[in-house]
Amino acid sequence: MTRNPLLLGFLGLWLLAWGILFVDRGRTLPLAPKTVHYLVAEVIALALVAALLRLARDRRPIDHGSRLPIRNPGAECAGILAYLAAVLAVGRALGIRAHIASAGMSGGASVVWQTQTPGSALRWAVFHFVAGVVVPLVFFLGVRRYGPRTLLLGFPRGGKWIAFCLVAGASGLLAGDPHVTFGQPLAGYGAALLLFSAGTFLPVMILFESLLAPRLAILGRSAMTGAVLSGLAYALFHPFEFYLRWGTPAEAAVSLAWMAQIGFYGVVKGISTLWTGSAWVHIFTTHTVHFTEVGEVTRVFRLR
């Protein structure tokens, strides 16, 4: 795994991106996440990956030798990538980004949340749920006739995986202000769960982890190659995040550096999926951070 040239190349770009962000010191993109906060979160993610790989040492990751019954992975992979580009383009035309605001690691997120209404939040969630869950599942379950197991929709067996997911999920909650994260009405947590499940958790799970990552791993003849390529695809799905700007060379350079950090989390998602054989696990390793935004969800929907 450590000799995988694609992984080594990505790690080199990732470190270069961090160099750009530290030199920039938040001057070019005022709404961008805080570098120190994000760095701490990535260190936690690396620790989770190390623990996951240790727990999964007795199982073969999903790759070309795993005998996953995927028919014509090359054509399907090309179709998925084209579909992702179409979803991105339609979302851009409708003014809908990949994320509604942030992942709880940006002071600028509050600025964006101030512009949200119940209608805009629901429109974002419905768009991604339909485009990222309903349409691909109808096609791959109904038309292509794949079963849930082939789509990695089962949960890994064993108490160790339940414990891992609980610990990993709890780590994401530490990214926000605990007084805000844990001081909301019960209805706020329910609304946040529904909103982010429809708009983020499930669409990413289906499009990138259930469909794209295993096919890339089969084509690349390596689980790590599949994880890195799916991570790069995940990064390229986020060029219109609220804190990114492309108007000047400096803005473009810093925006690309932040997209490399998004790609880092995409690689973590791919590893979470391919080494456990479950598309669900990535939610706990990278996505529970969205629950730090429960305070904004409570405010937007005026919940008590």
Closest CA to 98 of 259, 213, 230: 259
- Identify whether 107 is part of a domain: yes
235-247 pLDDT, tens digit per residue, is 999 999 989 999 9
The percentage of residues in the chain with a pLDDT greater than 70, rounded to a whole number, is 97
CA atoms within 13 A on the CB side of 238: 28
- Identify whether 17 is part of a domain: no
Helix extents (H) in the chain = 5-24, 35-55, 73-94, 109-113, 118-129, 135-137, 159-173, 178-181, 186-196, 202-204, 213-220, 223-236, 249-274, 281-282, 294-300
- Identify whether 18 is part of a domain: no
The mean of the pLDDT values for the chain is: 93
Closest CA to 33 of 226, 175, 158: 175
Residue 304 reports pLDDT greater than 80: yes
For residue 139, the 8-state DSSP code is I
| Residues in CB range of 287: below 8 A, 6 or more apart | 172, 196, 200, 201, 204
For residue 241, the one-letter residue type is E
**What would the mean pLDDT of 222-226 be, rounded to a whole number?**
96
Q: Compute the distance between CA of residue 202 and CA of residue 129 in angstroms, rounded to an integer.
A: 7
Residue 62 reports pLDDT greater than 90: yes
Residue 183 reports pLDDT greater than 90: no
Residue 283 reports pLDDT greater than 70: yes
pLDDT at 181: 83
pLDDT at 33: 86
Q: Compute the distance between CA of residue 169 and CA of residue 173 in angstroms, rounded to an integer.
A: 7
For residue 125, the 8-state DSSP code is H
144-182 pLDDT, tens digit per residue, is 999 999 999 999 988 999 999 999 999 888 877 777 788
Calculate the alpha carbon distances from 86 to 83, 114, 130, 231 in Å.
5, 28, 13, 18
The residue range of the domain holding 136 is 27-300
Name the band, by pLDDT with cuts 50, 70 and 90, for residue 273.
very high
> Which H or E run includes 279?
none
> Which H or E run includes 276?
none
- Identify whether 142 is part of a domain: yes
**What would the mean pLDDT of 178-187 be, rounded to a whole number?**
86
| For helices 249-274 and 5-24, angle between their N-to-C axes, nearest 10 degrees | 140
pLDDT at 1: 58
| Residues in CB range of 124: below 8 A, 6 or more apart | 96, 97, 100, 199
**What would the mean pLDDT of 83-100 be, rounded to a whole number?**
96
- Identify whether 219 is part of a domain: yes
**What would the mean pLDDT of 65-74 be, rounded to a whole number?**
93
Closest CA to 281 of 81, 51, 40, 38: 51
- Identify whether 145 is part of a domain: yes
**Count: domains in the chain:** 1
pLDDT at 105: 61
In the 3-class helix/strand/coil scheme, how is 246-274 assigned residue by residue? Answer: CCCHHHHHHHHHHHHHHHHHHHHHHHHHH
